Amino acid sequence: MAVKILLTAVILSIALFSSFSQENQKISTIGTYNGYSTLKYDSFFRESRYVKMSDGTRLAVDIYRPIKNGITETAPLPVVWNHTRYTRALKGPQGNILTLATSPIGMALIRRGYVTVIADARGTGASFGTQNGLFTKREAQDAYEITEWLAKQEWCNGKIGMMGGSYEGVTQLMAAAKKPPHLKAIFPAMFLFDLYNFPYHNGVYYNDCIISDKNKMSKGAASKIDFIAPVDNDLMKTDLKTAYSSRSENRFLDDIFSISKYRNSFDSLTQSYLYKDWSPSNYVEEINHSGIAVYIYGGWFDLFSKDAFLLYANLTGPKKLLMVDSPHSSSKNPKLIQLFITEQIRWFDYWLKDIPNGIMDEPQIALQKNGETATENLTLSDTWPLNNTQNLNVYFQEGKSGSVNSLNDGILDMKKPVDNAGFEKYMADFSATSGTQTRWDDAAIKKFSYPDMTANDEKGITFTLLNPLQNKLTICGHPIITCYANSSCGDFDLYVYLEDVAPNGVSSYLSEGCIRASFYKQTEAPYNNLGLPYHRCYQEDTANINPGEIYKLSFDMLPLYHQFEKGHKIRVTLTCADKDNTNSHIIFKESEITVFRDALHSSFIRLPLLVNN
């Protein structure tokens, strides 16, 4: 039994998006698209069914075909589909169906003549099977088989795209790596590239985000079945109940990652080197050979902000990159939502409908500056880092900035230290935290709002510009920290924050990086790492950290595009814990950390400064 659903309310919402117009004038630029494709359809026809995979597992698939004036389109159309672990369709309180197809992007596609399809990944939603890992080879094979099944349907013209963000962004990359012949273009948003860097950052475990995902996926598990929409022929939910009965066999992320501390950890249940076999970074060659066009959509405050640039750097086929001022989940800027939709329509029109809208004639990279609400003044480039980037080393120095009541209140200076002895001693404060509304919390569908970082600064050591900036200063790229340090008790974690201090003393979070000292050794990356420090983090790479011995800790911070205003100051803060986001406070005991800033051990931050801007 298929369901016909009118889009009265949602059509009105689409009309609010001024980027789309039915005027004849043709305009196709980033965020604006007129005159190339029209709002031809007014509703859709929903069909929900099972599709059997090659191993016999049945996956739940919803198909949304465009309708015009009550008549379902019979001519073959391009298909854009989504491979999700978050349930393809939920039953609303009034018995209505809530799904990606009724979201703004789903509706925009349907109204412009795309069949939209959503599939529950195996072991999720109404699909059968179990999810014993994430982004597994079997799941990638499922994506291949669904894509090719779609291509054989009479309502498909053989041109297929994929869309979605977060988990659904990665499933697109893994599908592309399987090289399905009919997959032409994908639009991954807010996704990971290197799986190890999701739970671990240079050996530091971001357990709160991972555990939050476990709680989110298990909360109300027994009753969740009441909200999952069964397929059409499963009126008594017999199949749904049978499929759902195996959910207890699924594995949560924390169960996997907490015992897989190294990049070469082996998962005995799946017989996999998980950070290799389940990571898109290991399949770059296959993705490039596929020829599939990739439009990367990322956010500066996403936990995967670096991954967007890594994927871009490693792709050799048709590609674009758009970075916006957004976290992972909670952007409510209507202009960004409009931009997100517009770019997908332009992308799929070009690759799936052969509409010559010029999207591939534009610069490949578009960047929105942090703090910008408008989407009209994007920075366009064909290179990353930007051509007008100049790296500036700013050193940790003795002195008093008079701006914060931290343990040392040191200063930042462009001059390298000349003293033979210079250091800051710091008794590790394991109550230090960047807060409970961080980029990591946002990824777990919590709030996103960093606090004034001053309270955290006062639990660590700081280095701040002595004098306010006399002119605006813009940073765009990947800051790099080089810090010489030792510990009285052996191994330790080091966290570094980059902040913007306003004239009123409020210190705003911009970026961060961290490392476990025992992972300080660097190796060559297995992919284009943009020339940034790379820590392989194999078990055999870990070093014994001897108390009192000085170690050089060098690592990159998350990328940013930020303008410091005149009168503001730059601050760098170092701590040894982030108790609301990682587990350092659980692992390590009280210890004294010494950060060196002398002529031989010059600790500094390298800032990617934009010149002539």
pLDDT at residue 550, as a whole number: 98
Per-residue pLDDT, 221: 59
For residue 495, what are the β-bridge partners?
Answer: 514, 575
Cα–Cα distance between 62 and 42 in angstroms, integer?
A: 19
- Contact by Cβ (8 Å): 325, 301: yes
Are residues 62 and 180 located together in one domain of the fold?
yes
Q: What is the CATH number of the domain that holds 196?
A: 3.40.50.1820
Same domain, 516 and 594: yes
Q: Are residues 376 and 397 in the same domain?
A: no
Please report, for the domain that includes residue 548, its CATH number.
Answer: 2.60.120.260
pLDDT of residue 463: 99
Amino acid at 524: E
Residues 340 and 440 in one domain: no
Residue 216 is predicted with a pLDDT of 60
Residue 549 phi, psi (nearest 5): -85, 135
The predicted structure's pLDDT at residue 59: 99
45 and 90 share one domain: yes
State whether 352 and 492 are in the same domain: no
What is the helix (H) or strand (E) element at residue 46, kind and residue range?
strand 43-52
Identify which of 416, 480, 500, 519 has the alpha carbon closest to the alpha carbon of residue 196: 519
How much of the chain, in percent, has pLDDT values that exceed 90? 86
131 and 246 in a common domain: yes
The tally of domains found in the chain comes to 2
Are 369 and 401 found together in one domain?
Answer: no
Amino acid at 147: T
Domain extent at residue 235: 3-381
| Same structural domain, 401 and 330 | no
Length of the chain: 613
Element (H, E) at 242: helix 238-244
Q: Which residues of the chain have pLDDT under 50?
A: 1-18, 22, 220
Decide which of 381, 416, 445 is a domain's last residue: 381
10 Å Cβ neighbour count for 419?
A: 12
Strands 200-201 and 204-205, sheet pairing: antiparallel
pLDDT computed for residue 215 by the predictor: 63
